[in-house]
Structure 1
Amino acid sequence: MADALDFSASAEQLQPRLQAAVSEFIGEPVTIDQLRQLTAGAAAQTWRFTAQSQAGEQSLILRRGVDADQFAGALGKADEAKVIAAAVACGVSAPEVLGVLHERHGLGEGFVMSCIDGETLPPKILKDPRFESARAELAGQCGTELARIHSVPRTQVNHLAVNDLRGQIDFYEDSYRQFDHPLPVFEAAFQVLRRRVADFELPESSLALVHGDFRNGNIIVDETGLRAVLDWELAHIGDPMEDLGWLCVNSWRFGNRDKPVGGFGDRESLFSAYQAASGQAVDPTRVAVWELFGVLKWGVICLYQCHVHLSGVLPSVERAAIGRRVSECELDIVDLIDAGGELWR
């Protein structure tokens, strides 16, 4: 058996092994073409290609895991694929998983899924006139989709760990301390969150499947609105309000500060749609706690990305640029604590 190709492999090197794997997944010989890399993100590579078989041609996506960057307990690709399959089976809008890569395929960790057409780049989603009508509906559609995600039976995702607010505060504060780069605003944020964490702990029965990274940039949008939810590697069992708070973090508004939901909508539309679809009331205070934690979490991740670059582990201009966004998170934390008033006293 050939060794798995590393992440510098070219399309020409990937193609024969990928063709064999997809033939196995589909159950008949296929010819793949137009294989091209779309992203080489922090957690995975994404490749798009077409597969031609007797049944016809289809557009597919290959997701390959990057073993060197599993910060924050990101799922392995096999486990991520299992979550996506469970979500799709329960009516969540996400790509269908055709098959999971194994050692025999010689491609490393990953999976193949269907390709859903649409836009993922936030600047285009927020500015392109083509999506004007979609933007008007998008916050409500996100609320409905999150309700579907949170309704996936836990028995279908029993391989996921519980990751509540207290556990996440512990994890990110421990990580932050390891960088040996103290920031007064981050110190204050950890303190105010720890003062209130006991007030927002939930019983085990109230925890649900949480996407963990539901935001503008991880959704596919077309002229009608939300088409699919992507990037499930941070999925876990936790407080459903975490996903709503994360979606409202200012970093995902991409400059549209007056549109708290992804830069395209308002909290009222998000909350009302979620309540209508789930039958569960939204607790705005818990969402606010998760939003503050989300900003702090993103700030620690920015520090981590900078550390990965500066340490020489994975040098990258993109990682260095992300590291410079720490200051944005500091400003957002100050704004949220100030606006929260008695919540943080």
Structure 2
Amino acid sequence: MGTGNQIEKPLADWAHAHFGAGAQLVSLKRLSGGASQETWAFDVETSGASTPLILRRAPGGAAAARASEAVSLATEAVLLAATGKAAVRVPEVLHVSPPGSELGEAFIMRRVAGETLGRKILRDEEFTLARTRLTRDCGEALARIHAVPLTSSGPLPRSLGADQIAKYETIYQSFNLPRPVLELAFAWLKANAPDPAEPVLVHGDFRLGNLIVNQDGLGAVLDWELAHIGDPREDIAWLCVNSWRFGHTEKRVGGFGDLPELLDAYAAAGGQRFAPSEIDWWEIMGSLKWGVMCMTMYGAYKTGADPSVERAAIGRRVSENEIDLINLFEGLGRHA
């Protein structure tokens, strides 16, 4: 992993080149967020003005082998530029550092003020107004993301519904640990697969935790490393998965909103018109995926590949996803 001493000089050199010889690098600190990449916050001061910035960097500056579905930092930077051009609220990228450079594989973007912690966004009084606007804001953001031309989004993996069933069933079977609810979900998804929608740019992890929210609503969409070409309903449904409602289960959309409002905002911003019932299949897929991911994280803890308490704790949440799946199956047909 990188240290402040490793990156301070190349960051200061960049600041001088970008802001002028008098620019000063201050308040450099490593942030706790970011499971697969380093995230650093820092400010550049020039003539009394301060510019808040974020460095997103490969661990140690050199990218190791990554999961096949995770895009490179360079591709993330391309996606931020392309979606920003499409009026999606994203941080502006100021610099992309290539592999092998003094700073290492990384990019620098403006720091957007706001909160990312789901529980605070759903609970704290300062976000009362934001919660009334967030459903609409998310619908508009998703419509604009899905409208970005694939030719401008960089090299991306392709993953539709059938691809994801095959992938996660293979992972599940590798554990040789039968879980009847998950097996029921795999069977139901195969038997009830909808006709695929026209493939679009999909964010892949659009949910509270990856959204900056300020007092007025959505401030920015973050964490594009799981972006891919896929079905637009995947993004809509992932925001609805109960795990990302942080206890506010009565609100299907992220714990803060209702699905008809989200779909209306999505269509009004140029997205396809979907009925709430068309999201059911993908929400079941999302809960199943997260259940298998939780199994994977516990596997990493058990084998010692990642002995952190966080991995063990997340691994225990498989049972929560099983309950969510049962509730989803019982609710089928209730959504108009």
TM value normalised by structure 1? 0.90
What percent identity do the matched residue pairs reach?
Answer: 45
Query: Counterpart of 1:11?
Result: 4
Query: Counterpart of 2:176?
Result: 180
SS in structure 1 of the partner of residue 71 of structure 2: coil
Partners of 1:119 and 1:45 in 2: CA distance: 19
Instruction: Choose which of 112, 134, 140 in structure 1 pairs with 2:130.
Output: 134
Query: Counterpart of 1:251?
Result: 243
Gaps of 5+ in 2: none
Instruction: Choose which of 268, 272, 282 in structure 1 pairs with 2:264.
Output: 272
Structure 1 residues 31 and 200: CA distance shift in structure 2, 3 A: same
Instruction: Choose which of 24, 29, 33 in structure 2 pairs with 1:31.
Output: 24
Listed as ranges, the matches of 1:156-175 within 5 Å are: 156-175=152-171
Could you report, residue by residue, the CA deviation over 1:29-59 in whole angstroms, capped at 9, with x for unpaired residues? 4431101112253222211100234694311
Q: CA RMSD in A?
A: 2.1
Could you report, residue by residue, the CA deviation over 1:137-165 in whole angstroms, capped at 9, with x for unpaired residues? 11111111111111111121151122111
Structure 1 residues 49 and 272: CA distance shift in structure 2, 3 A: same
Shift of 1:196: 1.8
Whether the aligned pair in 2 keeps the contact of 1:65 and 1:76 (CA below 8 Å) is: no
Query: Counterpart of 2:196?
Result: 201
SS in structure 2 of the partner of residue 302 of structure 1: helix
Structure 1 residues 226 and 28: CA distance shift in structure 2, 3 A: same
Listed as ranges, the matches of 1:110-125 within 5 Å are: 110-125=106-121
Whether the aligned pair in 1 keeps the contact of 2:147 and 2:271 (CA below 8 Å) is: no
Partners of 2:48 and 2:166 in 1: CA distance: 51
SS in structure 1 of the partner of residue 9 of structure 2: helix
Partners of 1:193 and 1:328 in 2: CA distance: 19
SS in structure 2 of the partner of residue 280 of structure 1: coil
Shift of 1:28: 4.0
SS in structure 2 of the partner of residue 93 of structure 1: coil
Query: Counterpart of 2:52?
Result: 59
Shift of 1:220: 0.8
Q: Bigger shift: 211-220 or 29-38?
A: 29-38
SS in structure 1 of the partner of residue 332 of structure 2: helix
Partners of 2:176 and 2:233 in 1: CA distance: 31
Shift of 1:175: 1.6
SS in structure 1 of the partner of residue 192 of structure 2: helix
SS in structure 2 of the partner of residue 103 of structure 1: coil
Matched, 1:42 2:38: no
Structure 1 residues 234 and 22: CA distance shift in structure 2, 3 A: farther
Matched, 1:286 2:281: no
Could you report, residue by residue, the CA deviation over 1:235-294 in whole angstroms, capped at 9, with x for unpaired residues? 111111111100000000000000111111111211111111115211333311111100
Partners of 1:21 and 1:163 in 2: CA distance: 37
Q: Bigger shift: 108-117 or 256-265?
A: 108-117
Gaps of 5+ in 1: 1-6
TM value normalised by structure 2? 0.92
Whether the aligned pair in 1 keeps the contact of 2:277 and 2:333 (CA below 8 Å) is: no
Query: Counterpart of 2:307?
Result: 315
Instruction: Choose which of 147, 154, 164 in structure 1 pairs with 2:143.
Output: 147
Partners of 2:280 and 2:65 in 1: CA distance: 29
SS in structure 2 of the partner of residue 52 of structure 1: strand
Whether the aligned pair in 2 keeps the contact of 1:19 and 1:32 (CA below 8 Å) is: yes
Partners of 1:110 and 1:305 in 2: CA distance: 26
Shift of 1:18: 2.6
SS in structure 1 of the partner of residue 44 of structure 2: strand
Partners of 1:17 and 1:105 in 2: CA distance: 9
Query: Counterpart of 1:3?
Result: none
Whether the aligned pair in 2 keeps the contact of 1:95 and 1:114 (CA below 8 Å) is: yes
Query: Counterpart of 1:4?
Result: none
Whether the aligned pair in 2 keeps the contact of 1:18 and 1:105 (CA below 8 Å) is: no
Could you report, residue by residue, the CA deviation over 1:6-41 in whole angstroms, capped at 9, with x for unpaired residues? x1x3323321133234545x2744431101112253
Give the letter for the 1:160 counterpart: L
